[in-house]
Amino acid sequence: MGKAAAARKLASAAAFGGGGVSALGAALYGVMRVEASLARKTIGEPRDEPPPDATGWYGRGRPGPAIKMALLGDSSAAGYGVERVEETPGALLASGVAERADRRVYLRSFAVVGAMSSDLAEQISRALPIEPDIAVILIGANDVTHTVLPSHSVRHLAEGVRRLREAGVAVLVGTCPDLGTLKPIAPPLKQVARAWSRRLAAGQTIAVVEEGGRTVSLGSILGPEFAAAPALLFGPDQFHPSSHGYRSLASVLLPSALAALGLLEPDEIEPEPYRGEGVLPITAAALQAVNTPGTELGGTEVGGNRLGVRGLWVELRHRRRHPSTDGTAPEADEEQQPGPERAAASEA
């Protein structure tokens, strides 16, 4: 089976409840389970102390109306491993959006250390009452290390994106990174993890875009850039990013978040062929995104049609990264929160 067919089959299996394990083979699935257990022992149990909470207001003194962001997902979204809230991806992303858009930003983090795709439903139920303008989701790595079938992971993600889009929320998903680069993961698990995470990322991409969301490939977050400087970009457990790593993560997400919010500079609106940007069928675009970290995909139309002979039309972009914005601590001023935010905060 070719890569395109495998990605298409994975997304279809997720939609109809199929198993999807044949993409890797039953024998490799067994190896994955054993080796993943050993890798989790090497990484160790999560610390009892939770990551700093990035929830709050950003962009003091900037004009309104405020942009409301919900951050969903796992430890990579929560900022596990850093000591200061300014170093978390939530604070870095919200600070960046506030600066680039010249607007106040209210960020609410619902991310949970150790979360898998099956945990998204609860997080989304908590996020919807704040009526966010955008939801940023980082999920998938724990699904791989806990050997959750990719079709199951993709189905949970697709259902979550559908709920958010039906509520009028823009959605940006950072797809599963390439776990084959992680130091605690040894061969043969390393090769299996690479294949598993890339196929999961392709399936996530197809499912999210079909549900009306936008994706950006995070392969670079645990890819060549990290492999070249693991001591700088990974934390002490060699699994979670360091503060420098989270800054790299935020720099990848920021341009796509601005695009999802419709806050692009005029010269960023149309695709640039010289940067390899253009329109492709969804499966071909998903596979290219997996192999080209930092690639953003979103649905588009060709001749007034969203569907072509080979499936949904997708706009493939390689957004220019903005100069890094220093993260700031949030302003925890509940008196300034709109009603839904205050109610959600009191329930948490």
> Which residue numbers are catalytic?
75, 237, 240
- Using an 8 Å Cβ cutoff, are 197 and 247 in contact? no
**Structure tokens that stand for 133 in this block:** 């303008």
- Give the Å distances, CA to CA, from 47 to 53, 63, 81, 113, 120: 15, 39, 9, 10, 22
Nearest to 256 by CA among 284, 226, 217: 217
Length of the chain, please?
348
> SS3 letters for the chain?
CCHHHHHHHHHHHHHHCCCCHHHCCHHHHHHHHHHHHHHHHHHCCCCCCCCCCCCEEECCCCCCCCEEEEEEECHHHHCCCCCCHHHCHHHHHHHHHHHHHCCCEEEEECCCCCCCHHHHHHHHHHHHHHCCCEEEEECCHHHHHCCCCHHHHHHHHHHHHHHHHHCCCEEEEECCCCHHHCCCCCCCHHHHHHHHHHHHHHHHHHHHHHCCCEEECCHHHHCHHHHHCHHHHECCCCCCECHHHHHHHHHHHHHHHHHHCCCCCHHHCCCCHHHCCEEEEHHHHHHHHHHCCCCEEEECCECCECEECCEEEEEEECCCCCCCCCCCCCECCHHHCCHHHHHHHHHC
